[in-house]
Every structure is written in C-alpha cells, then in structure tokens.
Amino acid sequence: MGDDLMDNIVSLCKRRGFIFANSDIYGGLSNTWDYGPFGVEFKNNVKRAWWKANVHCRDDIYGMDAAILMHPNVWDASGHIKQFHDYKSDCKTCHKLFKIADLNPVRKKSPKGKGLSNGVKDKNICPDCGGKLTEARPFNLMFKTYQGVVEDKASLLYLRPETAQGMFVNFLNVLDSCHPKLPFGLAQIGKAFRNEVTPGNFTFRTREFEQMEIEYFVHPDHADKKLEEWIEDRFNWYINLGIRKENLRKRLHGQDELAHYAAACTDIEYKFPFGWQELEGIANRTDFDLKQHGESSGKDFRYFDTESKERFYPYIIEPSGGVDRTTLAFLVDAYREEEVKKRKRVFLSLHKDLAPIKVAVLPLLTNRAEIVELARNICQDLKKKYFCVYDDTAAIGKLYRRQDEVGTPYCVTVDVESLEDRKVTVRDRDTMNQDRIGIDKLKDYLKQRLAG
C-alpha cells in the first residue's frame, strides 16, 4: 500500500502540474525536483501559513531574509567546517558509494524466511556485490563555490547548509534597530544546500531544499520551559492545517543523536508511506552560536537586561522545519480515493488555506457565447480576492475531476438557467454537495467558507 500510495502521488504530481523531475529532457538531475504551476502555489501557501502563524500573529517574532552566500568565517565559528560531516566508503569492485550510517545494523530476513531477525551487515563488505569497501572517510556536507574570477582558497565560499546562521549573525543588528526585549525571535524561510550521499523518497530529502526556521532568544533559566511550549505550538500548527493526528508524533532525541550545538531536541515526525520521518526539529541550541560568533568576531553578543542589570548570552530555542517535506506531508495526508457511481474519484482534501486554487469557474456549455462571457466575468471578479481559474476545455465531469485532483475546494458552474435566474451552482470538493447561489451572493458565500 505504501509504495502504491507514493507512486500514485508522484504520478498525480506530474499529471497535474505540481512537481516535475528537474532537467527532465536531459534525463533528469538525480533527486532534484521542480515545482510546476500548482506546486508553486501550494508550496507558497504552506510558507504563507507558517509566516502568518509565526510572524504576523505574534508580537515577539521578527521576519528576516538573509543571503545564501556568507563570509566563510561564519562556517568556521558555527563548527560546520570541522564537524558537518558524513562518513563514506566505496566498493573497490563496483565503485558504488555508501554512507557509513546506512551500513550499520539492518533488519534482514532470516535464512529460513521465518519472520525477521536483527542482522548486522559486515561494514567492510559491499552489500551490492560482496566486494571489499575502502576505509571510511569523512566528507563535508557543504556545497563549495567561488566568488569572483579566481578559483582559489581565498575566494572559496559555501552555499549555506542552514538558514539559521543568517539570523545569528544579524542578532546585534536586530537589537540595535528594533530594540526587542527577551524573549524574542527571528524567523526566516529560504533555501539551504547539503551534499547528502543518500537523498531520496521524492521531495522528502533533496540536496537543495527550503527551510522555515525560527531562532527564539530566551534567558537561559527559561530555555526548558520555552522549548516545551514551542514543541506544543509547532505540533498544533500541523494539526490545525489538517494533518490527521494519528499520522503525527513527537520523538525525543537520544543523547547520541544530538547535533554538536544542541542540548535537547524533539522531532515532529509524519507517518509517510515510507515510514515515520522528521518534518521539523525543535532544539535547545543553548548559547553555543552567539558565544561562538561573539568570540570569533570580537563583538559582544551578550544581552543586557535593563531591569536586572544582568549581561548574559541568551539561549536559543530553534524550531527548524523543511518546507518541501512539510508540503509533501500535507499532500500525502490529503490524498483520497473513493468510488462514485462505480468510478474511482481521486481528490486532495487539502485545508482551504493550502489549496493551490480556491475556486474554479466552469461553463456548462461553450457553444453559447453569453454563458462563456458570464463565467469569465465571474472568474475575473473573484480573482481580486482569491486565486481562481476558468476552464472550459472539457466536459463538466472531466473538469470536476481535474479540480478534485488539485484540491480546489469550490467549483462554480454557469449554465443556461444562470442567464435567466442569475444563479450559479457551487460544488463542494469533499462532499460533492451542490448549492444554487445568486451571483450577487456568491462572494459572501465563498467568504464564509474560505478564510483570508
């Protein structure tokens, strides 16, 4: 079922213009994907919902948009140059590359095929061909590039592996320009790059990806409490946007899993068809980052509390989520198949804030110019408020199926009677119920049902 569901989703994404394989005509660039016309609307809606909840609806968070390229000292101070590594090994016979973490204990079938037993693969043997593997070698996950015309060490730059550092290095700028009091946070959405050995599962893990990150600065004494609050807050965000509760869970990191800067971390995981996987990590990064940048730059990164007259390094609570994997989770969770009149109906039961198209306006007949004109006018008028489309390229049944598959909450149909009674039919995506509504009442009708 899991594989079938993923296949169905990948195929729907291509068929309906959500996600295409990158550079497809040249055979594709592995694990790189492009968002098509409805994919970009959908992903933008996910980002908008995140920004609204975390920046616009709060008084204590400021938005930011830092550059992808940064001074190389940033990555030295952050520990990424020294510590942001994976270990790899390759086969001397077939030359396939393996990530060491993937060669660790695996579950495999017992020889007699009776159930499962815990088997440990030999780390020195190629699981594909049985050849010998080379010694494990560390490799840095950061993408390198050069600034300027000379490609030498002095012009070496990195594509950021996380958006977080752009916020840390601007901490003093925000203090000086906005004068916030603790606790306060910075929020940013942007691209990040990691040269992973084993990406995969469609858009779940890709080398180029987008992050939604918050860096929330708190007094060290309040860090544990704020961490718990953020875990709850972020968990509820997914539920409020329609993710089914049974498909979402929190998972506390073991001490051995923690990143070099973190004191504690809890992941929010989604039950994908390929297993439980992380959507977002909420970490207590302690004062590691501000201290590192303070010491490395020679600037004073301590916060001065005017009431207690105390000067200290704030702790940072960081809810860090992936845009692409969150978008994929919303898509998987919304995918529905049902039988209607002996035919399979596929639809995306997306939250209305996330649906790429809010309303489709469809003429029942295209051989009557007045119907087409009325439908086009209604669509044009609604466009001022919602993302709407007009479509008359097929019979009505097919048009409905198309809109169902992209998750359009409402279809407005204009027919011959509309010319007489000035009414249209509004069809609900999930229930397929139809209401006959006066054209002059249509905006109010939709306003009650579509927020924003």
Cα distances from 206 to residues 30, 32, 203, 270, 360, in angstroms, run 9, 6, 6, 17, 33
- CA dist list (Å): 174 to 1, 20, 178, 190: 50, 39, 6, 19
Contacts of 240 (CB under 8 A, 6+ apart): none
- In this complex, which beta carbon is closest to Zn ion, that of residue 135 or of residue 176? 135
Decide whether 94 or 97 has the Cβ nearer to Zn ion: 94
Closest CB 388 distance from Zn ion, rounded Å: 54
Q: How far is the CB of 140 from Zn ion (least distance, A)?
A: 24
The least CB distance from residue 128 to Zn ion, in Å, is 5
Least Cα distance to 286 among 305, 258, 310 occurs for 258
Number of other residues whose CB lies within 10 A of the CB of residue 425: 18
Taking the complex as a whole, the smallest distance from the CB of residue 124 to Zn ion amounts, in Å, to 12
Between 94 and 365, whose beta carbon lies closer to Zn ion? 94
| Tally of residues, the chain | 452
Q: Is 400 exposed, middle or buried (0-12, 13-18, 19+ CB in 10 A)?
A: buried
For residue 183, say if its preceding peptide bond is cis, omega within 30 degrees of 0: yes
Nearer to Zn ion (CB atom), residue 69 or residue 94: 94
Residues sharing a CB contact under 8 Å with residue 162, sequence separation 6 or more, in sequence order: 192, 211, 213, 320
Q: Give whichever of 91 and 382 is closer to Zn ion, judged by the CB atom.
A: 91
> Residue numbers of the site for Zn ion (CB under 5 A)?
91, 93-94, 126, 128-129, 131
Question: Of all helices (H) and strands (E), which one includes residue 34?
Answer: strand 33-35
Write down the least CB distance from residue 96 to Zn ion, Å.
5
> In the bound complex, what is the minimum distance in angstroms from residue 98's beta carbon to Zn ion?
9
Judged by CB, which is closer to Zn ion: 128, or 435?
128
